[in-house]
Amino acid sequence: MGVIGNIIAGRVLDKEFRILTLDGLREVYEEARQELSTKRIGILLLRIKTLGDSTLLPFLLKGVVRNLKTSIRVPTDFVGRADDTTFIVLLTNINKHDLRNVAVRLVDPLSLTVSVGERSVTCVVSISCVHGSELEEDKVTFDDLYKTALMRMKKGQSDRGSGIHCG
């Protein structure tokens, strides 16, 4: 059926935010790889942490996803959800330098505060970047990029705390 058919059928969409699942991002990646070298593909892994009243997290995440969707380069970027507070942007037709620039550009729109009466919650975002050109072979999979981004984020957070962790 292809990725478009699976998106239309809702099989690869996160039901809460109407963005791609990990399986959906894998399918998009595989289709992109038919047209592009891995030297033109990258991912951003975004982990959302909160400060304040965590009961407001659902409202905060809705704002984060809305801002993420409006900040990507349509139609070359694809947003997906890895888990409750981790999101992925798959970027196609991008070089390594521009990938980092996109990560830097996303920090402000994703740094939100949601207030309801006296309660508030603030978003702290960590972003990990991986470009296909950083990995050794041209047969790089989506999972290779994803695992590298996860490792880079874990190492970067232990070394430098929150922020942008790119190679």
- The domains of the chain are located at 2-166
CA–CA gap between residue 34 and residue 48 (Å, rounded): 32
pLDDT at 156: 79
Assign domain 2-166 one CATH number from 3.30.70.270, 3.40.640.10, 1.10.10.10, 2.102.10.10: 3.30.70.270
Confidence at residue 1, expressed as pLDDT on a 0 to 100 scale:
60
pLDDT value of residue 161 = 54
* pLDDT on residue 119: 94
Structure confidence at residue 160 (pLDDT): 57
Which parts of the chain sit beneath pLDDT 50? none
pLDDT digits (tens, 9 = 90+) for 68-84: 999 998 889 999 999 99
Residue type, position 46, single letter: L
- Residue 113 tokens, joined: 């505060």
**What is the Cα–Cα distance from 146 to 69, expressed in whole angstroms?**
20
